[in-house]
């Protein structure tokens, strides 16, 4: 556990107030300091200024601009043929050579990005890597001169609920602001924000423009990137979420290493959260863990010996309670890393070492293959594989054919099929290849998945 500057200051103040002196064994700078609430009025007056002084210079303002051809109505009313839109957010310098971390939604689809430091220096920036799944983007400042302030990424995950934190950013474009609060929850996965992140929840005020800013511990280190709020009004309501530093570091390492995408390994298993009823049937004292319902053939989990019915309770010592938590823990590792999976099997707890791997298949297969005959002639598609399914935000265990293109006036186009539709069944049988679609006849029944909804219809 780290010894924070605030803890040292509080200890000195308590000594001055006549509190008992630490023993010799406790005097070392690196001695573990217990967490404790303020004991008197003097401690309540302790200032966060030393933490802010160290951390704030590395937090930057990001302004982004997009220019696009205006639609006829816009041109008619404004006389302008080009329409501009922009966004304002925050970011954090994490390397002295000008590497900045922010949220993907701050810079997504933007063409011009400008970064302003706290000391008013300005730099143009380019996107090294944008990871939509984690909502983290990594920027490179151009023309960096002199030393840049840097915030250290602390990925040790030592935070506890109740720890003090600061949120530093640039809300509303008014300049840098600092708010304080506590860690109100950890490992929040069922937020609807992402299926591959496990968020730090905080009650520190996070407002529009704070996106991409820093969640800072009492050592001035980066423990998360502020990403989202739950609010009915659009402003802070005391429920904010930050992407943990573990995932931030993974995205930064991928970007600096030259990758254009974050390769998330998988364990090749999926399951359901253990409910109260399941916990009782398994003799568990409380609902905890993920009960495996499917194991991918020849996947990492299968090779390690995981089986359907096993209950995964932890990965590398971190508690697992749902599929999102498992995806996050495994996704922060690199392909071929070994993870320790703690399971409950036949009433006994055991640990299995599994080597995680990249999802099999091609995540970017291009336009795919054309269907040349039958009722679906004119359709272009590609057989779904785990890597492609994951990139599209779907279940890697799903099979089917993804529609990648449609010939004009073809039957598939006329009946309303669209690119990115997933054809999962033909006449009740699984659709697993483009070649099989060439044998589809008029009158056949198609089942597709579109936007998470399953639709069934019959060809004319």
142 noted as active-site residue: no
Structure tokens at 92: 């954090």
From the list 197, 211, 236, 254, the catalytic residue is 211
On the CB side of 214, CA atoms within 13 Å amount to 34
What CA–CA distance (Å, rounded) separates 354 from 176?
Answer: 45
Structure tokens at 93: 């310098």
Q: DSSP assignment of 313-379, as one string?
A: EEETTEE--SHHHHHHHHHTSPTT-EEEEEEEETTEEEEEEEE-EEPSS-S--TT-EE--SSTTTTE
From the list 105, 231, 395, 410, the catalytic residue is 105
40 noted as active-site residue: no
Structure tokens at 393: 């935000």
- Compute CA 277 distance to the chain's CA centroid, rounded to the nearest angstrom: 31
Judged by DSSP in three states, 224 sits in strand
Residue positions counted in the chain: 460
What CA–CA distance (Å, rounded) separates 370 from 372?
Answer: 6
H-type alpha helices, 362-454: 386-391, 411-414, 434-437
Q: Are 341 and 267 in contact (CB under 8 A)?
A: yes
231 noted as active-site residue: no
Angle between helices 323-331 and 245-256 (to 10 degrees): 40
DSSP 8-class letter at 153: B
Q: Are 441 and 456 in contact (CB under 8 A)?
A: no
Biggest CA-to-CA distance, the chain: 90
Which of 168, 239, 241 is closest to 198 using CA atoms? Answer: 241
Q: DSSP assignment of 172-211, as one string?
A: GGSS-EEEEEEEEEEEE-TTSS-SS--EEEE-S---TT-T
What CA–CA distance (Å, rounded) separates 324 from 48?
Answer: 35
Do the bridges between strand 177-188 and strand 199-202 make them parallel or antiparallel, or are there none, so unpaired? antiparallel
What CA–CA distance (Å, rounded) separates 183 from 13?
Answer: 25
What CA–CA distance (Å, rounded) separates 167 from 155?
Answer: 17
Q: Are 148 and 96 in contact (CB under 8 A)?
A: yes
Structure tokens at 153: 């990424």
Judged by DSSP in three states, 376 sits in coil
Residue pointed to by tokens 């290849």: 433
From the list 87, 131, 134, 135, the catalytic residue is 135
- 408 to each of 52, 182, 377, 411, 418, how far by Cα in Å? 60, 57, 11, 9, 12
Residues annotated as catalytic (active site), given as ranges: 105, 135, 211
């Amino acid at each position: 556990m780290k010894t924070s500057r605030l803890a040292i200051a509080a200890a000195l103040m308590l000594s001055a107030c006549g509190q008992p002196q630490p023993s010799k064994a406790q005097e070392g700078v690196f001695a573990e300091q217990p967490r404790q609430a303020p004991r008197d009025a003097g401690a309540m007056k302790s200032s966060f200024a030393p933490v802010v002084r160290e951390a704030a210079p590395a937090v930057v303002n990001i302004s982004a601009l997009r220019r696009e051809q205006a639609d006829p109505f816009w041109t008619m009313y404004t006389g302008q043929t080009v329409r501009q839109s922009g966004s304002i957010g925050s970011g954090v310098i994490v390397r002295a050579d000008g590497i900045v971390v922010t949220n993907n939604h701050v810079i997504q689809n933007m063409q011009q990005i400008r970064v302003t430091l706290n000391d008013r220096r300005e730099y143009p920036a380019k996107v090294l890597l944008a990871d939509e799944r984690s909502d983290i983007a990594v920027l490179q400042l151009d023309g960096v001169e002199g030393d840049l302030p840097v915030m250290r990424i602390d990925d040790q995950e030592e935070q506890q609920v109740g720890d003090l934190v600061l949120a530093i950013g640039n809300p509303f474009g008014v300049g840098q602001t600092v708010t304080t609060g506590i860690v109100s929850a950890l490992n929040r996965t069922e937020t609807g924000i992402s299926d591959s992140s496990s968020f730090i929840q905080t009650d520190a005020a996070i407002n529009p423009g704070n996106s991409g800013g820093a969640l800072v511990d009492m050592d001035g280190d980066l423990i998360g990137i502020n990403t989202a709020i739950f609010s009915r009004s659009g402003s802070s309501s005391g429920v904010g979420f930050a992407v943990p530093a573990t995932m931030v570091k993974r995205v930064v390492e991928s970007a600096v290493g030259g990758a254009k995408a974050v390769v998330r390994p998988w364990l090749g298993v999926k399951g359901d959260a253990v409910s109260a009823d399941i916990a009782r049937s398994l003799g568990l004292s409380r609902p905890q863990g993920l009960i495996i319902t499917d194991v991918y053939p020849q996947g990492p989990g299968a090779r390690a010996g995981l089986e359907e019915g096993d209950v995964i309770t932890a990965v590398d010592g971190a508690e697992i309670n749902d599929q999102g938590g498992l995806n996050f823990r495994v996704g922060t590792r690199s392909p071929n890393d070994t993870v320790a999976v703690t399971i409950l099997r036949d009433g006994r707890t055991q640990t299995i070492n599994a080597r995680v791997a990249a999802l099999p298949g091609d995540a970017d297969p291009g336009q795919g293959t054309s269907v040349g005959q039958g009722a679906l002639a004119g359709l272009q598609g590609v057989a779904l594989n785990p890597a492609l399914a994951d990139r599209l935000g779907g279940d890697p265990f799903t099979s089917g054919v993804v529609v990648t293109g449609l010939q004009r006036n073809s039957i598939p186009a006329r009946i309303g099929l669209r690119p990115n539709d997933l054809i999962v069944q033909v006449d009740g049988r699984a659709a697993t290849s483009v070649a099989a679609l060439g044998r589809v006849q008029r009158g056949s029944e198609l089942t597709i998945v579109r936007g998470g909804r399953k639709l069934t219809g019959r060809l004319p």
